[in-house]
Amino acid sequence: MENALNKKKEATIFSFSPVQLIAFGAIFMALRVVLGFLEINIGDSYRFTFSPIPVTLAAYMLGPVWGGVIGGCGDIITLIIHPTGGINFGILFAKIMWGVLMGLFLHKKHIGWGRAIIANLVTIIVCNVVITTASLCIAYGYPVEAILPVRLVTNAVHFVVYSAATFLFATVIDNAYKRLNVRYAK
């Protein structure tokens, strides 16, 4: 009979110790904040940024809770360092939901083109088109019919870029783990 204490733990992808979770979380948070500064503003209510990419990768590797924390805290830290106005709690909620939804779609799963497209499509519709548009309309008094067409076009661009980034970065991470002979956790 084998002693449970002498049993070697099998290496699985995305099964991290608490210290590793915090370290990866800090790395993704730093990436989120830095990429939050690299944005293209089109008017007052349209912005193109790469900041959701580290949130998506954090959700993929660490899970939906960490994805939500990094999405929300990253937005707050970015606003503290580089204020562009007050905190809009609707938009903050959308950033948190981005990480949570991506974690639900991607965590501990193989990411093919189909999963990357579905995850980004649902997340962009829920977070960017519905929640963020509603928050902008409530906060600034914009009529929905005035901003929705342009937001749909900008989010179509986001969808293509974020889907490609999700697939490409997940593939790179998967290939690195395959070289290390590590399998997915159940």
Task: Please list the residues that pair with 184 across neighbouring strands.
Answer: 13
pLDDT of residue 184: 61
pLDDT of residue 17: 84
Residue 9 lies in a domain: no
Residue 99 lies in a domain: yes
Residue 25 lies in a domain: yes
Residue 30 lies in a domain: yes
33 in Cβ contact with 81 (< 8 Å): yes
Residue 2 lies in a domain: no
State the residue range of the domain holding 165.
14-180
The runs of H, that is alpha helices, within 38-179 are 52-62, 64-81, 89-106, 113-123, 133-140, 144-179
- What is the pTM for the complete model shown? 0.86
pLDDT of residue 38: 86
CATH number at residue 134: 1.10.1760.20
pLDDT of residue 1: 46
pLDDT of residue 44: 64
Residue 3 lies in a domain: no
Residue 166 lies in a domain: yes
Residue 1 lies in a domain: no
Q: Report how far apart, in Å, the C-alpha atoms of 16 and of each of 23, 60, 80, 169, 175 are.
A: 10, 13, 30, 19, 18
pLDDT in tens, the chain (186 residues): 455 444 445 555 667 888 988 999 999 999 999 998 888 887 765 778 899 999 999 999 999 999 999 999 999 999 999 887 888 999 999 999 999 999 999 998 989 999 999 999 999 999 999 999 999 999 989 899 999 998 999 999 999 999 999 999 999 998 888 887 766 655
**Close Cβ partners of 44 (under 8 Å, ≥ 6 residues apart):** 140
Burial class (CB in 10 A: 0-12, 13-18, 19+), 18: exposed
Number of domains in the chain: 1
Length of the chain: 186
Q: What SS3 class is residue 125?
A: helix
pLDDT of residue 86: 83
